[in-house]
Structure 1
């Protein structure tokens, strides 16, 4: 198990999974509010340049991240269970956010699994997500604790 706020990556031949978890001193509803307000991401999240669309069941999103500012990721909301679970992704991967109530606080977990049959052909071109995940979790914690 990773240390609080420290990302861990599991590399396999046909997939890669990166996870991070952090405890936030704010209720899940506060954290959920930040995670589901697409337009505000660049205000609180230093890893995101822009996020457009609707974070709702079946919603479509366009994400530009600092990890690859030249690319716009076209994503679909795959799971929406307020205020516990949110997932979005594309054909190659899914990012899942899980919120667990901890006596008025929140245990936040973020996991992204990417892969598939052709993954080995381009895996070496995908940068590590570790630092970005750690920053995402730290930014969310700071924003939620200010708000909530």
Structure 2
């Protein structure tokens, strides 16, 4: 099961929510999510993270915003991590847009996991591009979520 939506909260504020159920335990999903060296093998949209998924660490994130082009968008973030369950960043990026990007792993019955990827884009040029960005983010996050699901389920079966 997979969900994705965006909501226009105000003139320059959009919320994005995606989630997917993964047939693998949370610790396997977390291990794939934090194995940033292997993002290139399975991740779409968010194609790479350089740095450690550790509370307070600085990371560099590579996004492929438009899959029809090879141009990467690279942003530096300081992340907050609750080990084993979630990590997020909340910083200003290009165009003065504040990005509150959140990744969360939730245990479900039967050894399954719900993975939630959400975001808020606020301020800056959001009033001009917010709707277009929100749609692009929903599509990209869902592609990332499907890749995470496939990789986590593959690793869970090989264990």
Deviations 1:74-116 (A, max 9, x none): 11112x1122121124231121112111121101111011103
Structure 2, unmatched stretches of 5+, are 93-97
Q: How many residues align?
A: 144
CA distance 1:107–1:56, shift in 2 (3 Å): same
Match of 2:117 in 1: 110
Q: Is the contact between residue 12 and residue 127 of structure 2 (CA under 8 Å) also seen in structure 1? A: yes
- Out of 128-137 and 82-91, give the one that drifted further: 82-91
Match of 1:41 in 2: 39
Q: Is the contact between residue 42 and residue 51 of structure 1 (CA under 8 Å) also seen in structure 2? A: no
Q: Is the contact between residue 74 and residue 90 of structure 1 (CA under 8 Å) also seen in structure 2? A: no
- Out of 61-70 and 10-19, give the one that drifted further: 61-70
Q: 1:7 aligns with which of 4, 7, 13?
A: 4
SS of 1:67's partner is coil
Structure 1, unmatched stretches of 5+, are none
Let me know the Cα RMSD of the aligned residues.
Answer: 2.0
**Structure that is richer in helix per residue:** 2
SS of 2:3's partner is coil
Match of 2:141 in 1: 133
Q: 1:94 aligns with which of 65, 86, 100?
A: 100
CA distance 1:115–1:105, shift in 2 (3 Å): same
CA distance in 1, matches of 2:106, 2:130: 32
User: Normalised by the size of structure 2, how large is the TM-score?
Assistant: 0.80
